[in-house]
Amino acid sequence: MNSPLQVRGLRKSYDGREVIAGIDFSLVRGECFGLLGPNGAGKTTTLRCCLGLTAPDAGDIVLAGEPVPLRAREARAKIGVVPQFDNLDPDFTAAENLLVYGRYFGLRDAEIRPKIAGLLEFAGLGGKEDANIRTLSGGMKRRLTLARALVNDPELLILDEPTTGLDPQARHLIWERLKRLLAQGKTILLTTHFMDEAERLCQHLAIMDAGRIIVQGAPRELIRAQIELQVVEVYGEDAPGWAAREAGKFSQRVEVSGETAFCYVDEAAPVLAQLAGEPQLRTLHRPANLEDVFLKLTGRELRD
Ligand code: ADP
């Protein structure tokens, strides 16, 4: 079966600066692929190129079997998109938003109307057909945008930061719905800044920085391959001093950020035993996770 999205040798420059520097990836049908990276890494530009909204300088993109940008319109009619910022029409009700959106894809009202109740139900908005968009919470608007993206029964859904700005309850609900869509055999491409989101949802992910994909793989594989097994986080005013004095004796790698030292170890017992004699410090011992991999590969300094 063909991949729902294949990208080869994608490049894009703005004002002589290459913001996408030759990237390759492809999605596997029925899987969730996560595109991660700090601000400015090139994620949005990549998505825009894939959707035919930004013209690449080089590379081949095949989206839903159609070459992009050549047949971007046809490709977009076969997929669903949830943009980063909700762009629902506030002058229409929830049901009208679905109808108007469906018309963009050439769907007839008679095809869309029977689906509306089911789509709203799926999005946890059952009975909200006549709701005014202005009365919906941020979480409800995001769910309505998800329902809208499903109006053409797409094989692939592309979501740009689907849970940014949502409270924990709303995030969990979106995750649960995305998992249901995966269980139905849909393919998902998402960008996210939340490593727990990527770890929960994605079978495969790519970490981008400065226009390049620096690693790709399954979340568990990346954690195994890129990082020590365990982390001991040490907090307190004296944590940087302790890190300088002691941590190197126990830890292959130590990172200090403010008043926290992160000790990356395969075996935590020796460093925990030493810390038992340092009552001024607090500690947290945990398995290494995707965020540790992300910070190791992209650094801890702020990106604007
Ligand atoms: P991300 O989504 O990972 O935060 P973007 O794709 O938005 O990254 O941006 C990548 C880089 O491209 C950034 O340095 C950004 O300033 C630059 N960029 C994006 N769009 C434009 C544009 N239309 N004109 C000039 N520079 C742009």
Q: What are phi and psi of 127, to 5 degrees?
A: 80, 5
Compute, in angstroms, the gap from residue 163 CA to the centroid of ligand 1: 21
Residue nearest to atom 12 of ligand 1 (CA): 19
Same domain, 244 and 135: no
Nearest CA to ligand 1 atom 26: 14
Question: Could you give the CA distance from residue 81 to residue 145 in angstroms, rounded to a whole number?
Answer: 9
* Burial bucket for residue 253 (CB in 10 Å: 0-12, 13-18, 19+): middle
**41 and 180 in one domain?**
yes
Largest Cα span, the chain: 73
Distance (Å) from CA 77 to ligand 1 centroid: 26
In a domain, 297, yes or no: no
- Please report, for the domain that includes residue 140, its CATH number: 3.40.50.300
Would you say the CB of residue 43 lies under 6 angstroms from ligand 1? yes
pLDDT in tens, 190-204: 999 999 999 999 999
Q: What is the pLDDT of residues 128-177, one digit of tens each?
A: 999 999 999 999 999 999 999 999 999 999 999 999 988 999 899 999 99
pLDDT tens-digit map of 81-111: 999 888 999 999 999 999 999 998 889 999 9
Q: What is the pTM of this model?
A: 0.92
Residue 295 in any domain: the answer is no
Distance (Å) from CA 12 to ligand 1 centroid: 10
Q: Which of 15, 19, 51 to mutate to test the pocket of ligand 1 (most atoms within 8 A of CB)?
A: 19
Q: Is 215 in the pocket of ligand 1 (CB under 6 A)?
A: no
Residues in the chain: 304
Parent domain of 272: 228-287
pLDDT of residue 238: 94
Between CA 292 and CA 227 the distance in angstroms is: 8
Pocket test for ligand 1, best of 44, 48, 189 (most atoms within 8 A of CB): 44
How far is Cα 25 from Cα 226, in angstroms, rounded to an integer?
Answer: 20
Please say which residue of 195, 217, 239 terminates a domain.
217
Residue 156 domain-assigned (yes or no) = yes
State the distance from the centre of ligand 1 to the C-alpha of 17, rounded, in angstroms. Answer: 10
Say whether pLDDT at 1 is over 70.
no
Average pLDDT over residues 57-68: 98
Task: Decide: 60 and 70 in contact? Cβ < 8 Å.
Answer: no
Check which CATH number belongs to the domain holding 255 and give it.
3.30.70
The burial class, CB within 10 Å (0-12 / 13-18 / 19+), for 42 is buried
Mean pLDDT across the chain, nearest whole number?
94
